[in-house]
Amino acid sequence: MSRSYEMVIDITGFKKSQEKTIAQTAVMAAALSDHEWDAYVENCIRVTGQTSLCGGESEEEYAAKVAKAVWKANDGRFCQVCVKATYLEELPFDEYTFDRQDFKKMMVKSPRSRRGARRRVAHR
């Protein structure tokens, strides 16, 4: 059974000459669909996209796999890799249901709003 995630991968402190290679490697290692990457601030790459974890792979195992691939693409040197995983299948949400009583309360015009717009204009 696979689980769907939105992934955000931030990479900082990398070798500047490897920027494009690192970004492409992160996308491939992360197996992202509908992905994009951007160097949104100097010396920081952000890779985003959706993926599925399957075969019992944990979020931590996934993040470690991505980090290792990025480090290899950075000529085997350390750079900061931060993986943020958002589980998409059971997102928290708020629900707002409005009944007939709410409709009446919200749709009733106050006496002030029944006046014409000319009366609401402040006079000097």
Total domains present in the chain: 1
Q: Report CA 64 to chain centroid distance, whole Å.
A: 20
Q: Domain holding 82: CATH number? A: 3.30.70.360
| Full domain range(s) for residue 75 | 3-87
Q: Is residue 73 part of a domain?
A: yes
Q: Is residue 67 part of a domain?
A: yes
pTM of the predicted model, to two decimals?
0.72
Q: Is residue 40 part of a domain?
A: yes
Q: Is residue 64 part of a domain?
A: yes
Q: Is residue 111 part of a domain?
A: no
Q: Is residue 110 part of a domain?
A: no
Compute φ and ψ for 77, nearest 5 degrees.
-105, 155
Q: Is residue 107 part of a domain?
A: no
Which tens digits make up the pLDDT trace of 28-82? 999 988 777 776 677 899 999 999 999 999 999 999 999 999 999 999 999 999 9
Rounded distance, CA 69 to CA 93, Å?
A: 35
